Every structure is written in structure tokens, then in C-alpha cells.
Amino acid sequence: MRYLRLVLIILLIGYLLTGLTPVRQNERAVVRRFGRVLEQKPGPGLRIGLPWGMDTVDRVAVDLLRPADVGYLPNADDGQSTPPGQMVTGDHNLVNLRVVVQYRVRPNAVEDFVAQRSGDGSTAGIDRLIGLAVESLASEWVAGRDVDEVLLQGKAELPRWLADRPEHRLETRLQEYNLGVEIVSANVIYLAPPEDVKDAFDRVTQAQTEMRTKTNAAESLANERLRQSESTAFKITQLAQAYAQQQRVQSAAEAQSFEKRLEQYRAARRSNPDVLTAMWWDRMSDVFKELRANGRIDLLDHHLGGDGLNLMQVPPLPPKREGIKSPGSPGPQ
């Protein structure tokens, strides 16, 4: 009997200890007492409550990133039905799309997350709702664009369209489900046309890539030549401005010099009326020197004889040749 009481006491103590729940640093707890959720949300530490059967404590890690895989799976394509993640573009082509969304629990909405979980604690139901929202939004994005834009820009543009703030379309769409989660990121894992037309799309993509490469090269060459032309035009403009400035300065200096000389001439003429004649001969002396240096005139010293200046010289007559009369000679006898 004594041993039975001891066993009962040990069992009672063990049962009471089920009311102790340790909550880790990165966790938040939701307490349900007889099925009703309490307003108290225990934080990190040791939580003391009623034992099992009265209180149920669900601990949730709020900093854990949870993936939701949505869309096309290549191995699941049986060739008979439309595979998940296959969407129609705006120009009526098909593409296969797979997106992985990373989410975490909101610390202030842990009870919503716990309420949406399955009875075994799995997040399959939450992942399915997130997948439906992703497929809906992705179908909108794909349907608004042609197949070339989807294939070329989808991996970069679609994640931003889904999850980037301030629009944050995916998180806005999930608010009506009260899942208690926030979207951290979205990534396009797979994006390609169906296998039976993939080769044709690859050839088109390669041709478009080559076309863009040639276009970029042509634009680069055009920009380089434009820069060269602008540089040449700038140099010519600078030279023209410098020459014009030089001519203005030179003209101003010449005008100033002429005005000074004119003033000097007027002052000299008042004292000497023949100053203009002297200036003329002075200038003509310079002209004669210039003409002589160029061989245009020569001195007349070698034309002076004993009787004075001899100006009657003429060029000598050409030599006589046989059978030809010189001018003025008598004819044959």
C-alpha cells in the first residue's frame, strides 16, 4: 500500500510537471486552455501553466525561413494532362514556371499561424494557400506579356513583381487568408517553354542575343564617332575663337598705332608744311629697296658715259646667215 501511494505521488508530480513548458529565444508560444486560445503569448523562458489535457502549448519559431515550392516539376509531367505551373502568355504561347517562396511567421500573429496548421503540426495547408496565391499572381504577370519578354525577363522581373515592396502583391493577396506569415523573398527556379518546342525557342533566343550584341556594338561605335566629332568640333571652335580674338587684338593695336601716327603727322604739319612730302619719299625709299631686292629695278651707273647718261642703247642685231639679207642691204647685182 505504501508503494502504491509512492507511485501515485510520483505520477502526480510527473503530471503536474507537464505544465512546465520551456520557450526558446527565437520562439513564441500559443496557449489553448480547454481549446480556447488565451490572450497571453509567452515569450522566451520557462512557462508555468496547467498540466497536459488542460493547457496545450504550441511553440513556433518566428525567425525560421520556411519554403513553399510552387509550380512546374519536370519529373511530374506525364504528357497527358496539363502539368502544374504551365501558363499561357499574352501571345498565346505556353511556358512552364516554378517559383520558390520563402516566408516566416509574424511574431504578433502566431495564433493565426497555429490555427492554419494541420493537426499534426505540418504547414502543408499554409503552403497550399501560398501556392494558390503565387499561381494566381504569376498567371496575371505572364498573361500580360508576350513569350519573348516572359522568357528573357521573367527570372529577374517576376520575383520583384511578386514580393518587392512597396507593392508586395503576394503578401497583400495573402492577408485575406489570415495565415500569420510574411513573405521574405520569391525566386524563379525554372522558366522554360514546353520540351517539344524548347529547341525552337533556344534558337530564337540565340538569334535575339546575337542581334542585341550587334546592335550594342553598332551603338557603341556610333557613340564613339559622335564623341570624336564633338571633340573635333570643339577644337575647331576653340581655334576659330582664338584666331578671331587674335585678329581683334591685332586690329585694335594697328588702329591705335595709326591714330598715334595720324596725331603725330597733324602735330608735325603744323610746324612743317612739307612733312607729307618727306614722309612720301621716306616711304618710296622703302619701296625701291623692296623692288631692288626682288630684281624688279637696278641702278643706272653702268649707263653713264663721258658725255652723260646714254639712253639710246638698243638690243644688238642678230648675226647674219648665208642667203639671207640683212634689213636695208642692196639686192643682188
* 182-191 pLDDT, tens digit each: 999 999 999 9
In a domain, 247, yes or no: no
Clarify whether residues 57 and 170 are in a common domain: no
In a domain, 74, yes or no: yes
Per-residue pLDDT tens for 130-164? 999 999 999 999 999 998 889 888 999 999 999 88
Quick one: 71 and 56 in the same domain?
no
- Asked if 188 and 72 sit in the same domain, the reply is yes
What single DSSP character describes residue 76? G
State pLDDT tens for residues 29-71: 767 766 666 667 676 666 666 566 676 767 777 888 899 999 8
- Boundary residue ending a domain (32, 61, 90): 61
Compare 216 and 12 and report the one with higher pLDDT.
216
Q: How many residues does the chain have?
A: 333
> Which phi and psi angles does 30 have, rounded to 5°?
-115, 125
Instruction: Check residue 51 and give its pLDDT.
Output: 65
Q: How far apart are CA 216 and CA 108, in angstroms?
A: 51
Note the pLDDT of residue 62.
81
pLDDT at 314: 43
* Count of domains forming the chain: 2
Could you tell me the CATH number of the domain that includes residue 88?
Answer: 3.30.479.30
Q: Is residue 299 part of a domain?
A: no
| 324 part of a folded domain | no
Do 51 and 158 lie in one domain? The reply is: no
Q: Are residues 134 and 157 in the same domain?
A: yes
**What does the pLDDT read at residue 76?**
61
C-alpha grid cell, residue 77: 509531367
User: Do 113 and 127 lie in a common domain?
Assistant: yes
pLDDT of residue 85: 87
Is residue 60 packed enough to be buried (19+ CB in 10 Å), middle (13-18) or exposed (0-12)?
Answer: buried
77-127 confidence digits (pLDDT tens): 555 567 888 899 998 888 999 999 999 988 888 888 888 887 667 888 899
Relative to beta strand 66-71, strand 94-105 is antiparallel
Average pLDDT for the chain: 79
Give residue 7's domain range. Answer: 2-61
Does residue 170 share a domain with residue 117? yes
CA angle 165, 169, 170 (to 5 degrees): 110
Looking at the predicted structure, is the pLDDT value of residue 231 above 60? yes
**Residue 2 φ/ψ, nearest 5 degrees:** -65, -40
Please list the residues that pair with 45 across neighbouring strands: 23
State whether 179 and 72 are in the same domain.
Answer: yes
What three-state secondary structure class fits 155?
helix
pLDDT at 241: 94
> DSSP string covering 30-74, please?
EEEETTEEPS----SEEEE---TTTEEEEEEESS--EEEEEE--G
Q: Which of 3, 156, 155, 142 is nearest to 85 (CA)?
A: 142
One domain for residues 146 and 132: yes
Does a structural domain hold residue 167?
yes
